Amino acid sequence: MEVNSTNNKSFQLTENGRQLGELIYESSFTQMKAEIKLLNSEVYNIVPVGFFGTSINVTKDGNKIASLSMSWNGKIIITFQDDSEYALKFKGIFHSQVFLENTDKENIMWFEPHFNLTGGRLDHTITYDIKNEKVSKDYLLILLGVFSTNYFIATISGANSGIYGVI
């Protein structure tokens, strides 16, 4: 599975050449406002909330579906309304290894970001590794993982002002 940026605003999730969804930023991927479009015509909006934009809400038709927040130790926590929670963890010398783990501390996804210097694009290779084969792939969760990874990369590179965001 992979996510390829078609420009500095749009990231397409594909598997075996088939498009599964898209993450589209309002201006560029260093910004926090975006939307996720899935193949079943579902559209989710990602917007910073609060005076300083200290957290991020994910909404569908105006209803809150999930929230994202950065913890004190650099993890990005994704919490859904049904209380399911995931933590995006960055490992390695340059934080080049990105793992999404569930509440049982099991790594369920691995994101491998690749920056293309000549095209100025950021692409991702994604390994989806859930032990229970009956669990279907959650494309919203995958694209929220991509959004969070992009957000972290933009933050550590100084392209935005961190969790306080660029609104």
User: How many domains does the chain divide into?
Assistant: 1
Domain CATH code at residue 81? 2.40.160.200
Print the domain residue range for 49: 2-164
pLDDT in tens, 35-60: 999 988 999 999 988 666 568 999 99
d(CA 150, CA 117): 16
pLDDT in tens, 96-124: 678 899 998 888 888 887 776 666 667 77
In the predicted model, what is the mean pLDDT of residues 65-71?
A: 89
